[in-house]
Amino acid sequence: MFIISPAWADNATQASCDEDKGAFNIIAENDLWGNGADRHFTHGTRFSYVTPNISGQCQEADPGLWQKAREVIQEAVPRVLELEQSRFSFVLGQSIFTPENISQPSLILNDRPYAGWLYIGFGFLAERKDVFGGDAFDTFEADIGVVGPASLAEYIQEGWHDVISTTDPEGWGNQLENEPGLLLTYERKWRFYKSDPQTAGLQFDFMPHAGVALGNVFTYGALGATARIGMHIEADYGAPRIRPGVQGSDFFYRPRGAFGWYLFAGIEGRVVGRNIFLDGNTIENSHSVAKKTVVGDLQVGLVVTFRDFRLAFTNIFRTDEFAGQNETDEFGAVSASFRF
C-alpha cells in the first residue's frame, strides 16, 4: 500500500550546507534515437551549470557574491511563499530544424524551413515547501541568441553527417535569415509523494506543472504532468530537457544510500502563439508553414543516480506541429549530470 509522506525532511538533510553542491549538465536530443529519421527537430545540445544552494539557511557557507545576488533577485521576484532552496543557472544551447527530405537542394514549400537557434541563458531556480500539501519548484530562465546562419547549425549538421557518412543536407541555402532571438520562460511544478518503505521500498510521485514562454522564438502556454516510480525519487524533479517539452531539473541531490532510480511518464499540451521555426522570420521575408496552435508531447524514460552522477534516457513523441505534416515526430534525449 502507499501512504502520503512529505519528502522535505529528506531533502533538507541531503541539501545541508556541508554537502550541497552545484551541478553541470550535458543534454543531447536527436531524432535518430527515436524513429531513426532525420527531420523536423533533428538535434539539440544544451550545457548548463547550476550553482549550489544560496538560500538563507546556508549564508555562512555561501560566497558573498551569491548571497548578494540572491538578495537582488528576491527584491525583483515577488515571493508568495518562503524559498527553501534557490540557485542560479547558466545555459549554452543549440537546436537544429530541417524538413523531412534533406537531400533536395531546392525550397520545399509544403515542409518546415531549415533553421538553427544558438543561445545563452541565465536562470533562477527555487524550491518551496508546503504548497497544496506538497513541494513546489519554480524555474525562471532568460535566453538570448540568434536564429539563422549565425547559429552555425548548417556547419554542425553538415560536419556531423560527414563524420558518420550519412546523407548530406543539401537545402541549407533556404534557411531562415539571421535574427536576434529572445526567450523568457517560467514554469512551476507541484510535487506530491506516496511511499511505503516498510513494504516494497518503492516510491511514487505525481507532478503537475504549468508554464509560459514569451519571445520572438517561442510564445506558448503549457500544462502537463509527470508520474514516477522508483527508489529515492526525491533526489530531483525529473530528467532535464531542451525546451519546448516536459522539463525536469538541472540540479539534483545525492540520493539516500548513494543509489537511486526511477521510471517516468509525462505529458504536456501547449497552446502555441509563435514558433519562429514554423512561422518564419519576424521582420524579414522567409519560408514558413501554417503551424498547429495546439501541440502535445508524451515522454517516457529512465533516470539512474549514483552518488554525484545522474544519467537519464528519455523517448519523446510529439504531435503534428504544422499543417500537412506527414507523420508525428519521435526523438530521444540523453543527459549526463555531475555534482561538484
Of residues 128 and 263, more confidence is placed in 263
Q: What's the whole-number mean pLDDT along residues 153-168?
A: 86
pLDDT digits (tens, 9 = 90+) for 196-243: 554 457 889 999 999 999 999 999 999 999 999 999 888 899 999 999
Q: What's the whole-number mean pLDDT along residues 154-172?
A: 87
The identity of residue 174, as a single letter, is: N
Q: Please, which pLDDT band fits residue 72 given cuts at 50, 70 and 90?
A: low
Q: What's the whole-number mean pLDDT along residues 2-9?
A: 38
Of the ranges 58-72, 127-141, 238-252, which one carries the lowest mean pLDDT score?
58-72
Of the ranges 93-97, 167-171, 179-183, 314-318, which one carries the lowest mean pLDDT score?
167-171
Asked if residues 284 and 318 have their Cβ atoms less than 8 Å apart, the reply is no
Residue of 145, 156, 177 whose CA lies nearest to 277 = 177
pLDDT at 76: 55
pLDDT digits (tens, 9 = 90+) for 313-323: 999 999 999 99
Strand partners, 44: 29, 95
Please check the confidence at residue 69 and state whether its pLDDT lies above 70.
no
pLDDT at 141: 97
Of residues 34 and 40, more confidence is placed in 40
Q: Please, which pLDDT band fits residue 65 given cuts at 50, 70 and 90?
A: low
pLDDT at 312: 98
Of residues 80 and 49, more confidence is placed in 49
Q: φ and ψ at 222, to 5 degrees?
A: -135, 145
How do beta strands 134-147 and 179-195 pair? antiparallel
As a three-state string, the secondary structure of the chain is CCEECCCHHHHHHHCCCCCCCCEEEEEEEEHHHCCCCCCEEEEEEEEEEECCCCCHHHCCCCCHHHHHHHHHHHHHCCCCCCCCEEEEEEEEEEEEEECCCCCCCCCCCCCCCCEEEEEEEEEEEEEEEEECCEEEEEEEEEEEEEECHHHCHHHHHHHHHHHHCCCCCCCHHHCCCCEEEEEEEEEEEEEEEEECCCCCCCEEEEEEEEEEEEECCEEEEEEEEEEEEEECHHHCCCCCCCCCCCCCCCCCCCCCCCEEEEEEEEEEEEEEEEEHHHHCCCCCCCCCCCECCEEEEEEEEEEEEECCEEEEEEEEEECCCECCCCCCEEEEEEEEEEEC
d(CA 338, CA 306): 10
pLDDT at 5: 39
Q: What's the whole-number mean pLDDT along residues 94-99?
A: 96
Please check the confidence at residue 310 and state whether its pLDDT lies above 50.
yes
Of residues 59 and 19, more confidence is placed in 19
pLDDT at 305: 96
pLDDT at 303: 98
d(CA 100, CA 41): 10
pLDDT digits (tens, 9 = 90+) for 143-157: 999 999 999 999 999
265: its cell numbers:
511518464
Please check the confidence at residue 126 and state whether its pLDDT lies above 80.
yes
pLDDT at 287: 95
pLDDT at 185: 97
Asked if residues 134 and 188 have their Cβ atoms less than 8 Å apart, the reply is no
Which among 44-48, 132-136, 251-255 has the top mean pLDDT? Answer: 44-48
Architecture of the domain delimited by 3-339:
Beta Barrel (2.40)
pTM of the model: 0.87
**Domain boundaries defined on the chain:** 3-339
